[in-house]
Amino acid sequence: TDPALIRNFCIIAHIDHGKSTLADRMLQLTGVVEQRQMRAQYLDRMDIERERGITIKSQAVRLPWAPTTGEGQGTTHVLNMIDTPGHVDFTYEVSRSLAACEGTILLVDAAQGIEAQTLANLYLALENDLHIIPVLNKIDLPAAQPEKYAAELAHIIGCDPSEVLKVSAKTGEGVTELLDKVVAEVPAPVGKADAPARAMIFDSVYDSYRGVVTYVKVVDGKLSKRERIRMMSTGAAHELLEIGVSSPEMAPADGLGVGEVGYLITGVKDVRQSKVGDTITQFTRGAEEPLGGYKEPKPMVFSGLYPLDGSDYPELRDALDKLQLNDAALVYEPETSAALGFGFRVGFLGLLHLDVIRERLEREFGLDLIATAPNVIYRVIMEDGTELSVTNPSEFPTGKIAEVFEPVVRSTVLAPSEFVGAIMELCQSRRGTLLGMDYLSEDRVELRYTLPLAEIVFDFFDQLKSKTRGYASLDYEPTGEQRADLVKVDILLNGDKVDAFSAILHKDKAYAYGVRMAGKLRELIPRQQFEVPIQAAVGSRVIARETVRAIRKDVLAKCYGGDISRKRKLLEKQKEGKKRMKMVGSVEVPQDAFIAALSTD
Ligand code: GTP
């Protein structure tokens, strides 16, 4: 295809603002999916089949479109619609999808207005120099306020409110105009046709039948079927078994040229061999310089995952192996805890990623898990100059520490202006620094804060929601690290440290944590034959203490008289209960106590 006729674009939208519905409508209007085949959310369905329900991966669809009006009227163009993942933790994936495009549709619900996530992705699009087409969706809704939100969008991107297109993805109103506008306004891709090939990977998906399917945009040159290619980050060579476009079913082709978007299959079985952001070139006489912007996926948040039933450990390992085939950012290594037994230390991109993985392990693999409190990566510098990377409280050194660095994020909060006070208070209490504040309209405000990531992973989002009656939205991206005054708090039961409850905290928060955990555990640990002191300590200094009083547990005392079968039942019940106890030193702790104590509320 002549690059002049290609338009590569994506849709930036908040969840539920109608991206899938709009994509469906475009598939239909461009004739790619015939009316009678049209099912609601065609693209989502394909994903569900492939990934069983969780759509966090992007893909591309090729749409032929001859504009009905204006420049290029009647000439069939190729529109490549590239899907962007819509979640906080996948900023890097989003940035790569955006880098494959020349323009984006900024889609906003006309009854809701823009959300933090959308705003953050808009900034990414602007950084990638994309042409922005502002669009309000759902104008058919009685609650729609198109004038108000058109003004808001116009203010944010600096255009005239009349330039904001108003559509209904549901009824199809305005969607033809939108497709025409994509052709008219989104710049055609530019690249060197006679240079060695350079193609950027913007997505890579594991498929159990075909192996890894890699989605690319060819920037320079041409990739052809059967050719040997090289991954520029690793130098690894592969053969192009198949190359083609999705429209939306995979359609093999002979090759892909400048500006084209499509998929390729090399037979690799693991997405880590075909990494998002990497550049592909020919194996012989390939390009010297990769395209910019490649980053290794870097886990930011770590948590210990343990099977509730210790005998499920092999199943947990197999499940993690399987998930990793499709998730280059998921890392794990075996870990043992005196309290929880055998499990894994697992690294995630962020909290949402953690939730998704945990849910998949439980739902798809039927595992019951205990997760330890999420931990960020601390960089610890000792007085003798050695440096440690700590992802687990148990690795926090006891020797002489010179300084500790913690990761920080730049966060964006969007909310009705009446909540500004409450949000500022929350961010302040989480050691935040205000970077700036903007009124998007009279009654909506955007606050930008630098916050320690550790403060965000700890129930920040829940707090934000509850303090703003659910109206605030949050987005964040890593921006580096800062020096911090951190200590490790240990929890001791009858003098024995319980590793699962140790935490690395800011010095000012250590006391509150100690008091809260000791109090919680006093409620959760049943009385034993002896008195059990519960202590919170920083090093050898005890900062909080509670006591579980001793009791002689006489289960039979409840039985009056001689009903032997009832006695037996009670004894059996007690035995059952014992099974779900863990011995921590000399103290029996019910399994449930771990789960309850490790939950955030
Ligand atoms: P996720 O797939 O969850 O990211 O959401 P999405 O942004 O793709 O939104 P989706 O297309 O699933 O739409 C969300 C809801 O809004 C669905 O119930 C749609 O039927 C509805 N919807 C989408 N567009 C319109 C519209 O133009 N008008 C009306 N009334 N409803 C719409």
SS (H, E, C) 409-461: EEEEEEEEHHHHHHHHHHHHHCCCEEEEEEEEECCEEEEEEEEEHHHHHCCHH
How is 542-567 classified by DSSP, letter by letter? EEEEEEEPP----GGGG--TT-HHHH
Q: Looking at the CA of residue 21, tell me the nearest atom of ligand 1.
A: 11
Cβ 411 under 6 angstroms from ligand 1: no
**Per-residue pLDDT at 50:** 43
- Which residue(s) pair with 132 in the sheet? 104
Closest CA to 108 of 9, 12, 10: 12
Residue 87 has pLDDT above 80, yes or no: no
Residue 321 has pLDDT above 60, yes or no: yes
pLDDT: which is higher, 210 or 36: 210
What is the share, in percent, of the chain residues with pLDDT greater than 90? 51
Residue 591 has pLDDT above 90, yes or no: no
**Per-residue pLDDT at 35:** 55
What spacing in Å lies between the alpha carbon of 503 and ligand 1's midpoint? Answer: 41
pLDDT: which is higher, 568 or 266: 266
Distance CA(503)–CA(489), nearest Å, equals: 5
Residue 575 has pLDDT above 60, yes or no: no
pLDDT: which is higher, 349 or 424: 424
Tokens of 514: 């100690």
User: Does the annotation place 138 within a ligand binding site?
Assistant: yes
Of 47-61, 115-129, 571-585, the least confident: 47-61
**Per-residue pLDDT at 332:** 93
513-551 tens-digit pLDDT: 999 999 988 888 888 888 889 999 998 899 999 998 887
This prediction has a pTM of 0.79
**Per-residue pLDDT at 20:** 87
User: What crossing angle do the helices spanning 116-127 and 91-99 adopt, rounded to 10°?
Assistant: 40
Candidates 10, 14, 20: which one to mutate for ligand 1, based on the most atoms within 8 Å of Cβ? Answer: 20
**Per-residue pLDDT at 51:** 43
**8 A C-beta contact, residue 39 and residue 7:** no
Residue 116 has pLDDT above 60, yes or no: yes
**Per-residue pLDDT at 256:** 96
Q: What ipTM did this prediction achieve?
A: 0.96
Residue 578 has pLDDT above 80, yes or no: no
Residue 373 has pLDDT above 60, yes or no: yes
Cβ 118 under 6 angstroms from ligand 1: no
557 — pLDDT class (breaks 50, 70, 90): low
User: Does the annotation place 16 within a ligand binding site?
Assistant: yes
**Per-residue pLDDT at 88:** 59
356 — pLDDT class (breaks 50, 70, 90): confident
How is 44-101 classified by DSSP, letter by letter? HHHHHHHHTT------EEEEEE--SSSTTTT--EEEEEE-----GGGHHHHHHHHHT-
**Per-residue pLDDT at 566:** 61
- Count helices and strands (H / E) in the chain: 14, 34
219 — pLDDT class (breaks 50, 70, 90): very high
Distance CA(11)–CA(445), nearest Å, equals: 24
User: Does the annotation place 18 within a ligand binding site?
Assistant: yes
**Per-residue pLDDT at 105:** 96
359 — pLDDT class (breaks 50, 70, 90): confident
Cβ 23 under 6 angstroms from ligand 1: no
Best-predicted range by mean pLDDT (24-38, 159-173, 271-285, 337-351):
159-173
Residue 14 has pLDDT above 60, yes or no: yes
244-286 tens-digit pLDDT: 998 877 889 999 999 999 999 998 888 888 888 999 999 988 8
**Per-residue pLDDT at 71:** 77
Residues with Cβ < 8 Å from 550, sequence gap 6 or more? 527, 528, 529, 530, 531, 532
Mean pLDDT, rounded, of the chain: 86
User: Does the annotation place 2 within a ligand binding site?
Assistant: no
What spacing in Å lies between the alpha carbon of 17 and ligand 1's midpoint? Answer: 5
Which whole number is the average pLDDT over 112-130? 88
Which whole number is the average pLDDT over 466-492? 90
Best-predicted range by mean pLDDT (395-409, 453-467, 571-585):
395-409
Of 81-85, 465-469, 475-479, 587-591, the least confident: 587-591
**Per-residue pLDDT at 535:** 94
Cβ 170 under 6 angstroms from ligand 1: yes
Residue 595 has pLDDT above 80, yes or no: no
Which whole number is the average pLDDT over 467-493? 90
